[in-house]
Amino acid sequence: MGKSLEGMYAALLTGFSDSGAFDAGRQTAITDYVLRQGLQGIYIGGSSGESGLMSTDELLAQQAVIAGLPNARNAQVIAHVGQPNTRDSIALAKSAEQFGFDALSALPPHSYPFSDEEIFHYYAELAAATSLPLIVYEVPVRTGRPLPLALLQRLLDLPNVAGIKFTSTDLFKLSMLRRSRPDKTYFFGFDEIFAGAAALGCDGGIGTTYNVFGKLYVELYKSVRSSDLRQAQELQDISQRFVEVLLETGVIPGVKAALRSIGVDAGFARGPLIELDTKTEERIGAFLRSAPVQSWLS
């Protein structure tokens, strides 16, 4: 399986109305802005999209909105379909295939303390459910434990598994995976240290802050690949300073506030997520207006 999926993808936010319902108009506004930034594509229905706070029917509706956008048809679309149960995950996967999306991804099951074998069988069923390539996922911050290297290797060996989204600070494990399974595609998921993973040879990134700074991350990846260390450090520094602000405001509420502050009708996060700072939009707006940050906004 080739590496046609490689590149930089925004972990797309979800648009909700002021009453908290899924909002197709706001979803369109967010997606249109994100896709103007030169990214390889979008990763929809994931944690950054508040999928854990959405029903399967809402996620199916979101897929339909994305599928209907002309600019999305010109980009790569990876549909995250990981749900608390295999049945709903497969339903979302089959819908993504019908819409003509390019790949699937899924969190490991994490609603209960699932065994390694249960996780393996979940991914095996999901990979076999459609013809779309599947991106498995290592994300200890969500699952509560890192998956063993041997299990990740078994998952990468499954038919139809194209690669992994690796959201862990264990870059040595990432390197071992790459050496043992060099034909797979490796995405990195921690925006604030992307340059480190890129220097170790990852094939792209999938991140929340790409919704705002997609152009910056595309250039950051190019800088690493062209060995422009100074440029990579400067761009990663901007990324890190943005993440520092988000940690004080709430990450997803803060990214939506950032989009609102630059004129994108992104709405607000769905409860129980809240803005942790009463002056979130003011604080983030001040950061976005600073130099050299402003030049990286679309």
Tens of pLDDT, residue by residue over 100-143, are 999 999 999 988 999 999 999 999 999 999 999 999 999 999 99
**For residue 137, what are the β-bridge partners?**
165
Catalytic-labelled residue, pool 165, 184, 215, 256: 165
Residues 248-264 have a mean pLDDT of: 97
Residue 260 lies in a domain: no
Q: Do the domain assignments include residue 94?
A: yes
Are 194 and 207 in contact, with CB atoms under 8 Å apart? yes
Residue 257 resides in a domain: no
Model confidence pLDDT, tens digit, residues 135-192: 999 999 999 999 999 999 999 999 999 999 999 999 999 999 999 999 999 999 999 9
Q: Is 221 a catalytic residue?
A: no
Residue 262 lies inside a defined structural domain of this protein: no
148: DSSP letter: P
As to burial, measured by CB atoms within 10 angstroms (0-12 exposed, 13-18 middle, 19+ buried), residue 121 is: middle
**Is 294 a member of any domain?**
no
Active site residue 165: yes
* Token representation of residue 278: 């009463």
Count of the separate structural domains present in the chain: 1
pLDDT at 2 (0 to 100) = 43
Tell me which residue has tokens 């996922």.
137
Asked whether residue 288 is assigned to any structural domain, the reply reads no
Q: Is residue 248 part of a domain?
A: no
% residues pLDDT > 70 (the chain): 99
Does residue 293 register a pLDDT over 90? yes
Q: Which residues contact 66 (CB under 8 A, 6 or more apart)?
A: 12, 27, 31, 42, 44, 72, 77, 99
Whether cis (ω within 30° of 0) applies to the bond prior to 292 is yes
Averaged confidence pLDDT in the chain: 96
> Where does residue 106 fall: left (phi above 0), alpha (psi -120 to 50 degrees), or beta otherwise?
beta
The separation between the first and the last C-alpha atoms of the chain, rounded to the nearest angstrom, is 34
Domain CATH for 112: 3.20.20.70
Domain encompassing residue 216: 7-228
**In this predicted structure, what is the pLDDT of residue 1?**
41
Catalytic residue, chosen from 9, 43, 137, 221, is 137
Q: What is the pLDDT of residues 1-41, one digit of tens each?
A: 444 899 999 999 999 999 999 999 999 999 999 999 999 99
pTM as predicted: 0.97
Does 202 map to a domain? Answer: yes
User: Distances from the Cα of 175 to the Cαs of 77, 161, 178, 180, in angstroms?
Assistant: 26, 18, 5, 9
